[in-house]
């Protein structure tokens, strides 16, 4: 069981943006329960109702936080339905989120795992809206956990964690693989599901060839400026994944790329 960070750290991911009162109100609820909590905004600009994007955002950020961090992740297109609110702990962190696939990557990477349904009504707001469980259920749970409420008091154990069905697996062959675009960042860079470990040892990475929508990218570049302005490149990004970009440009816009599209990588 991971000990909570001291002072407690709560990191937030939502699709609520900053144009309305939603995000700020959730923070107010957390602080009303646990005034000494440190709140960290990972992102509130997740594409509206995109659980897949929230899951990826969590994947590339959670391991950089101190042990005992509580991740409050609310992208909840099924708010008000019978979908569960859950609290989870692995060997290092805690997670509070709808049971809708947000934790797909985290569960795949975790060695230890325990999940409970958030059913203790004493740990929710007394009056509840059918459309704002981020405020009424998830934020109070994060606050109570940060304030020291035992994990076991939130509700009964559950085994069935929803996994995203659209997570794509790399297809490997002798001298090539098929990869998939799984995220597009705000610069228009294309993040893929290919990691360094999928490239056979001894392969000269300067000779890798990526084919996508009739375009060819040759060799792994160390950084953007390694190619001329407006030229494409591929590189190992800060997430540890293969990324495709255009120096001083947007690969997503120029190539009309979309999430879940496939490409070929040859060596």
Cα 145 from Cα 133, distance rounded (Å): 17
- For 19, other C-beta atoms within 10 Å of its C-beta total 8
Mean pLDDT along residues 216-228: 97
Decide: pTM greater than 0.85. Answer: yes
Go through the domains of the chain in sequence order and give each one's CATH number.
9-154 (3.40.50.10790), 171-266 (2.40.30.90)
Contacts of 148 (CB under 8 A, 6+ apart): 4
Given this model, what pLDDT does residue 198 score?
A: 94
Question: Measured between alpha carbons, how far is 135 from 104 in angstroms, rounded to an integer?
Answer: 23
pLDDT at 167: 74
The CA distance from 262 to 192, in Å, is 9
Output the furthest CA–CA distance in the chain (Å, rounded): 62
Is residue 230 pLDDT above 90, yes or no? yes
Average pLDDT across the chain, whole number: 96
pLDDT in tens, 120-155: 999 999 888 999 999 999 999 999 999 999 999 999
User: Which of 191, 227, 195, 232 lies closest to 215 in space, CA to CA?
Assistant: 232
User: What confidence score (pLDDT) does residue 121 get?
Assistant: 95
Q: Is residue 69 within 8 Å of 11, Cβ to Cβ?
A: yes
Distances (CA, A) of 151 to 10, 82, 111, 136, 242: 15, 22, 18, 18, 37
Q: How many CA atoms lie within 13 A of 96 on its CB side?
A: 31
pLDDT in the model for residue 143: 98
pLDDT at 165: 84
- pLDDT of residue 166 exceeding 80, the answer is no
Q: What is the pLDDT of residues 12-50, one digit of tens each?
A: 999 999 999 999 999 999 999 999 999 999 999 999 999
């Amino acid at each position: 069981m991971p000990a909570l960070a001291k002072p407690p750290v709560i990191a937030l991911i939502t699709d609520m943006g900053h144009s309305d009162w939603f995000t700020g109100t959730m923070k107010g609820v957390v602080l009303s329960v646990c005034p000494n909590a440190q709140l960290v905004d990972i992102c509130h600009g997740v594409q509206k109702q995109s659980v897949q994007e929230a899951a990826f955002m969590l994947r590339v950020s959670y391991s950089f936080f101190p042990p005992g961090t509580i991740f409050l992740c609310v992208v909840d297109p099924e708010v008000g339905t019978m979908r569960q609110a859950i609290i989870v702990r692995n060997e290092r962190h805690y997670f509070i989120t709808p049971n809708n696939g947000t934790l797909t990557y985290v569960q795949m990477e975790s060695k230890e795992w325990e999940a409970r349904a958030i059913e203790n009504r004493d740990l929710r707001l007394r009056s509840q809206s059918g459309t704002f469980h981020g405020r009424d259920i998830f934020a109070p749970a994060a606050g109570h956990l940060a304030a020291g409420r035992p994990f076991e008091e939130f509700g009964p154990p559950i085994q069935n964690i929803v996994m995203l069905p659209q997570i794509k697996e790399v297809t490997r062959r002798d001298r090539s693989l098929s990869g998939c675009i799984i995220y597009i960042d705000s610069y228009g860079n294309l993040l893929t599901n290919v990691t360094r470990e999928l490239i056979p040892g001894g392969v000269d990475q300067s000779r890798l060839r990526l084919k996508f929508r009739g375009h060819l990218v040759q060799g792994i570049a160390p950084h953007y400026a390694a190619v001329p302005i407006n030229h494409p490149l591929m590189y190992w990004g800060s997430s540890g994944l293969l990324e495709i970009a255009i120096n001083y440009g947007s690969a997503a816009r120029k190539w009309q790329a979309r999430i879940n599209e496939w490409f070929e990588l040859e060596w």
